[in-house]
Chain A
Amino acid sequence: MDRRDFMKMTGGTILAVSSGTYAFQFLVASGRSVSGDNIAAGTVRWGMVIDLNKCIEGCTACLDACRTENNVAFHGDNRWDVHWIRKVKAEQKIGTESKEKSILLLCNHCDKPPCAQVCPVQATYKRNDGIVIVDHHRCIGCRYCMIACPYNARYFNMKDSEHWQNEERPKRSHGVAEACTLCAHRLDTGRQPACVEACNNTGAGVLFVGNLNDSDSEVSQLIADRPTKRLREELGTEPKVHYIGL
């Protein structure tokens, strides 16, 4: 046997083994598929209304609640910190009275999410009830979604977080992307998201989460009655977070 045959043989072996592995993977994947959704598409569409006029200056109740509920990583370094919801101060570029406003920013759970469109492994996806969520078991950490999101709403776990504030809920390993989940685990069991609860406890009542498809729900009523705005509507991503008094 000369070198030629050796090459052929090795090549053949590698080809056989790798194709076998892939075939096996596809078989395994097809066997594991779980079908059926919790909700039929179109019945529930979770959305949020934020009444910025009522938001208290300097209050961080919702931010803290989110951090403790979901074990969101905090390292004290603005390069790596993860913020599912964050509060910024902004002022109008043009205008006579330049009053600073506090604005809450979070994932908008777009109806046409660009982040889910670009995810190469379908780790980011839109659930039937409209929540955009990351499957951290699947994310490979390519960070393409962070590039695609026009709202800077996605964050990457650059570092392992040491604290485990809420032992009921998982934290994330380093190397996966994440964003607000609208507390899907709470909504699924009929509770309100942590930020909404915390906000209501302070008595401000800024945040409302509800079904946008149901015209009797609080959020739909608010949207119908009050002038609301969404962030960068011109992009066509159809965000589901509506702001009053932006």
Chain B
Amino acid sequence: MNIKNIIQCRIGFFAALLAIIIIIYPLGYSLTDYAIANDRAEAQPFLERTAPEITDCVEDTIYMRYHHWELLGKIREEIVRYGKRGDVSLDTCKKCHTSRVKFCNKCHDAISMTPDCFGCHYYP
């Protein structure tokens, strides 16, 4: 059996493999980048305390780092759909993390992700 035959026999297998790789490629890409981003010096988030009365974030750092989108999504759901305007919103973030370029974009750029938020919500 020559090499051509082998390739022909396995063509389905290769195609399936290729499909799977294509499907999971972006996921793996962002995951590895995510891990790298956590170590990079330039990806360290920037913090500026303009409101001295606030000493702590609404949740702890690790939670915020890995789940802040979930929290924001939940708050969004409560505000937009149920009118529950509590004391936490996207504006709360602005109080300490005053700059999007220096804070949000650090990680977002590193993992090449563009959230939809800032097209409509003002965040300097």
Question: What's the interface size class on A, roughly?
Answer: 20 to 34
Q: Which residues of A contact B10 (CB under 8 A)?
A: 1
B19 adjacent to A10 (CB under 8 Å): yes
Q: Which residues of B contact A173 (CB under 8 A)?
A: 116, 119-120
Q: Which residues of B contact A188 (CB under 8 A)?
A: 83, 85
B81 adjacent to A170 (CB under 8 Å): no
Given contacts A1-B9, A9-B16, A167-B122, contact A32 B70 (CB under 8 A): yes
Minimal Cβ-Cβ distance residue in A for B9:
A1
Given contacts A10-B16, A136-B120, A170-B122, contact A125 B81 (CB under 8 A): yes
0 or 1 for each of A54-90: is its CB under 8 Å from B? (1 = yes): 0000000000000000000000000000000000000
**Stretch of A35-43, A104-112, A205-213 that contacts chain B:** A35-43
Looking at the assembled complex, report how far the CB atom of B7 sits from the nearest CB atom of chain A, in whole angstroms.
11
Q: Which residues of A contact B119 (CB under 8 A)?
A: 160, 173
Q: Which residues of B contact A226 (CB under 8 A)?
A: none
| A14 CA to B18 CA, complexed, in Å | 12
Minimal Cβ-Cβ distance residue in A for B86:
A38
B78 adjacent to A34 (CB under 8 Å): yes
B81 adjacent to A1 (CB under 8 Å): no
0 or 1 for each of B89-117: is its CB under 8 Å from A? (1 = yes): 00100000000000000000000000010
| A184 CA to B84 CA, complexed, in Å | 11
Most buried by A among B20, B76, B80: B80
0 or 1 for each of A149-175: is its CB under 8 Å from B? (1 = yes): 000000000001000100110111100
Within 8 A of A (CB), among B1-34: 9-13, 15-16, 19-20, 23
Given contacts A10-B19, A17-B23, contact A1 B13 (CB under 8 A): yes
Looking at the assembled complex, report how far the CB atom of A43 sits from the nearest CB atom of chain B, in whole angstroms.
13
A5 adjacent to B83 (CB under 8 Å): no
A184 adjacent to B83 (CB under 8 Å): yes
B83 adjacent to A1 (CB under 8 Å): no
Within 8 A of B (CB), among A108-163: 125, 127-129, 133, 135-137, 160
| A168 CA to B81 CA, complexed, in Å | 19
Q: Which residues of B contact A171 (CB under 8 A)?
A: 120
0 or 1 for each of A174-202: is its CB under 8 Å from B? (1 = yes): 00000000001100110000000000000
Q: Which residues of B contact A39 (CB under 8 A)?
A: 83
Q: Which residues of A contact B122 (CB under 8 A)?
A: 164, 167-168, 170
Looking at the assembled complex, report how far the CB atom of A106 sits from the nearest CB atom of chain B, in whole angstroms.
19
Given contacts A17-B23, A168-B91, contact A38 B16 (CB under 8 A): no
0 or 1 for each of B71-84: is its CB under 8 Å from A? (1 = yes): 00110111011111
Looking at the complex, which one of B16, B77, B91 makes contact with A32 (CB distance below 8 Å)? B77
Given contacts A6-B15, A10-B16, A171-B120, contact A37 B83 (CB under 8 A): yes
Q: Which 3 A-B pairs have the closest CB atoms?
A: A6-B12, A167-B122, A170-B120
**A-side interface residues toward B, CB under 8 Å?**
1, 5-6, 9-10, 13-14, 17, 32, 34, 36-39, 125, 127-129, 133, 135-137, 160, 164, 167-168, 170-173, 184-185, 188-189
**B-side interface residues toward A, CB under 8 Å?**
9-13, 15-16, 19-20, 23, 70, 73-74, 76-78, 80-85, 91, 116, 119-122
Ordered by A's residue number, 7 sampled pairs between the chains whose C-beta atoms are within 8 Å are: A32-B77, A128-B83, A137-B116, A168-B122, A170-B122, A171-B120, A188-B83
